[in-house]
């Protein structure tokens, strides 16, 4: 800058065009502020993701276990209230409302036991495996088909089942033991796995089978994981108190 007298006043005038450039010293704090904001956002997203995964793993598991305990109690109560053996007519048994508890399913390799409900609607499968309506009942010739979400507490570890593992089903009067086949992966459109003779729609069944279905892989649903099995034994259970 230069100072020039004009009359009796001193006026300061620029010696050249104004300098609008920002020095490296001034630019650097701006860059670091941006980096800091981005870092904070990523940290927040990470915390949200960890919270979501924790809920899916532990929070949802607790909800499922609580719901299963209630369903199991309802099933036990309904069995105790029946004074006659379960009807032999499959039609009579299939008349139960969607969402109502119907049988118990256990897989020793997984260390889990579930109460299975009737139907495979979204509400039915929220905290329980569901019986495909229209498929056979346990012990019947054909295919007793059950679906569940690939969630902790449900069919999360279904892929570790191996050929020969026990799949145990209990209704009010009978304990059924199926022997599992090896797991296999199919398309979501492969509805033939639910046929009375799995994979052979229209064929007449001569054996009693079970089919368990769930999404694959974990955290996604573009495939289906299938576990089949054949009935090995059906053993009558001791009649509950009050039975005949």
The residues assigned a catalytic role are 149, 215
Q: Which residues make beta-bridge pairs with 104?
A: 115, 170
The long-range contacts involving 79-88, CB below 8 angstroms and separated by at least 24 positions, are 79/172, 79/240, 80/240, 80/241, 80/242, 82/172, 82/243, 83/242, 83/243, 83/244, 84/243, 84/244, 85/172, 85/173, 85/239, 85/243, 85/244, 86/171, 86/172, 86/173
Cα end-to-end span (Å), the chain: 112
Residue with tokens 């649903």: 221
CA distances 103 to 133, 135, 191, 221, Å, are 14, 14, 23, 26
- Residue 106 half-sphere exposure, CB side, CA atoms within 13 Å? 12
């Amino acid at each position: 800058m230069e100072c020039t007298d004009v009359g009796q006043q001193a006026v300061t005038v620029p010696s050249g065009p104004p300098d609008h450039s920002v020095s490296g010293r001034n630019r650097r704090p701006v860059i670091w502020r941006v980096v800091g904001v981005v870092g904070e956002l990523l940290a927040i997203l990470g915390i949200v993701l960890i919270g979501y995964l924790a809920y899916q793993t532990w929070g949802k598991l607790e909800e499922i276990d609580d719901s299963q305990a209630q369903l199991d109690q309802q099933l036990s109560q309904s069995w105790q209230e029946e004074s006659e053996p379960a009807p032999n007519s499959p039609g009579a048994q299939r008349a139960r409302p969607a969402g109502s508890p119907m049988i118990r399913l256990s897989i020793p390799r997984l260390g889990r036991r579930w109460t299975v409900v009737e139907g495979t609607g979204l509400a039915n499968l929220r905290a329980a495996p569901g019986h495909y309506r229209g498929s056979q009942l346990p012990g019947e010739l054909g295919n007793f088909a059950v679906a569940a979400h690939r969630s902790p507490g449900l069919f999360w570890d279904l892929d570790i089942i191996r050929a020969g593992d026990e799949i145990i089903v209990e209704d009010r009067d009978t304990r059924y033991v199926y022997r599992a086949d090896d797991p296999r992966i199919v398309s979501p459109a492969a509805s033939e796995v639910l046929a009375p003779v799995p994979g052979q729609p229209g064929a007449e069944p001569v054996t009693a089978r079970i089919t368990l279905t769930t999404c694959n892989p974990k955290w996604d649903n573009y495939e289906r994981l299938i576990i089949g099995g054949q009935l090995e034994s059906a053993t009558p259970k001791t009649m509950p108190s009050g039975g005949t």
